């Protein structure tokens, strides 16, 4: 019997690991940052909103975590290099990358300009690719493997009638990157996976949880196809995330966990 069978909780131990989180002031990024900090990781938080970034950093420090903040988005190769350089300068290495940055822009395709479409693709696809590249350069060079978690969505698999042509396309591409890098980096012991939530509680979705006629109608329509019968909570993402960044997922790569209450199962 191995030590992990005697103490299976050790499979999820990430104490002392260096985790870089982009979009750390956003809905998923802030959840990820606090989960990793609470689990004992040393966290490097990157985001473009200085005020919100400082708030997330303070919450992580309240858990006793070592924190480095970088007020940059992964918009360019230079930004991504700077984020990773800051992590290495502070902590000496990188072990985990969680990409929480991204955006949506809702519009019927006939009304959407190519520039708006490109902006969504750059934020969700190119940004993910660039920051993964910057992480990979350092993780490969230092050895010892690594963990990458990208941010997908139920919309990578399903369309939407309200003008999601850019967003759906971008998240499908993120899942393509996940599969490609999962194959490419397997020989280095670097796993690459994604989490695909549907609606979960955040500042952006708070209105859907309200007790009024509009919210109730939208919520009930949505929940009609969610087998678990409720909207998501931040803690619903914590478990899949901790699995994907820990030793528990060492034989799991190139995949997407659909943390959606069964929404995409039907």
User: Which pLDDT does position 2 carry in this prediction?
Assistant: 63
Average pLDDT, the chain: 95
Instruction: Please state the separation of Cα 62 from the chain's center in Å.
Output: 22
| 4 in active site | no
Over range 78-104, report the average pLDDT.
97
CB atoms within 10 A of CB 34: 21
CATH superfamily to which 3-197+238-257 belongs: NAD(P)-binding Rossmann-like Domain (3.40.50.720)
CB atoms within 10 A of CB 85: 13
Residue from 4, 164, 167, 252 carrying the catalytic annotation? 167
First to last CA, the chain: 40
User: Which pLDDT does position 1 carry in this prediction?
Assistant: 43
Question: Where in the chain do CATH 3.40.50.720 domains reside?
Answer: 3-197+238-257
Give the model confidence (pLDDT) of 24-36 as tens digits.
999 899 999 999 9
Over range 256-261, report the average pLDDT.
96
Give the model confidence (pLDDT) of 170-183 as tens digits.
999 999 999 999 99
Q: What percent of the chain has pLDDT over 70?
A: 99
Which pTM value belongs to this model?
0.95
User: Is pLDDT at 160 greater than 80 in this prediction?
Assistant: yes
User: Which pLDDT does position 202 carry in this prediction?
Assistant: 86
User: Which pLDDT does position 146 carry in this prediction?
Assistant: 98
User: Is pLDDT at 7 greater than 60 in this prediction?
Assistant: yes
Residue 18, CA atoms < 13 Å, CB-side half-sphere: 22
Give the model confidence (pLDDT) of 106-141 as tens digits.
999 999 999 999 999 999 999 999 999 999 999 999
Over range 158-168, report the average pLDDT.
92
d(CA 173, CA 178): 9
User: Which pLDDT does position 161 carry in this prediction?
Assistant: 86
Give the model confidence (pLDDT) of 179-226 as tens digits.
999 999 999 999 999 999 998 988 888 888 999 999 999 999 999 999
d(CA 165, CA 77): 26
User: Is pLDDT at 266 greater than 80 in this prediction?
Assistant: no
CA-based R_g, the chain, Å: 18
Long-range contacts of 120-124 (CB under 8 A, 24+ apart): 120/166, 120/167, 120/170, 121/166, 121/169, 121/170, 121/173, 122/75, 123/75, 123/170, 124/167, 124/170, 124/171, 124/173, 124/174
Q: Kindly tell me the burial class for residue 52, based on how many C-beta atoms sit within 10 Å of its own C-beta (0-12, 13-18, 19 or more).
A: middle
d(CA 79, CA 81): 5
């Amino acid at each position: 019997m191995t030590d992990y069978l005697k103490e299976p909780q050790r499979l999820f131990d990430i104490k002392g690991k260096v985790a870089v989180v982009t979009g750390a002031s956003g809905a998923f990024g802030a959840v990820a940052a606090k989960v990793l900090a609470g689990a004992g990781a040393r966290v490097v938080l990157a985001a473009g909103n200085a005020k919100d970034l400082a708030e997330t950093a303070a919450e992580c420090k309240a858990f006793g975590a070592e924190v480095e903040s970088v007020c940059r988005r992964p918009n360019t190769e230079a930004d991504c290099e700077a984020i990773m350089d800051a992590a290495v300068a502070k902590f000496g290495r990188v072990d985990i990358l969680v990409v929480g940055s991204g955006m949506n822009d809702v519009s019927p395709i006939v009304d959407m300009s190519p520039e708006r479409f490109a902006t969504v693709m750059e934020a969700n696809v190119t940004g993910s690719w660039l920051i993964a590249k910057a992480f990979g350069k350092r993780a490969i060079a230092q050895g010892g493997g690594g963990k990458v978690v990208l941010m997908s969505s139920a919309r990578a698999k399903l369309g939407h009638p309200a003008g999601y042509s850019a967003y759906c396309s971008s998240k499908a591409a993120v899942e393509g990157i996940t599969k490609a890098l999962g194959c490419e980096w397997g020989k280095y012991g670097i796993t690459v996976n994604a989490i695909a939530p549907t609606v979960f509680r955040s500042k952006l979705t708070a209105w859907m949880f309200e007790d009024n006629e509009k919210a109730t109608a939208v919520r009930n329509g949505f929940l009609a196809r969610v087998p678990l019968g409720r909207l998501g909570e931040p803690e619903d993402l914590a478990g899949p995330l901790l699995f994907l960044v820990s030793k528990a997922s060492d034989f799991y790569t190139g995949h997407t966990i659909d943390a959606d209450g069964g929404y995409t199962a039907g």
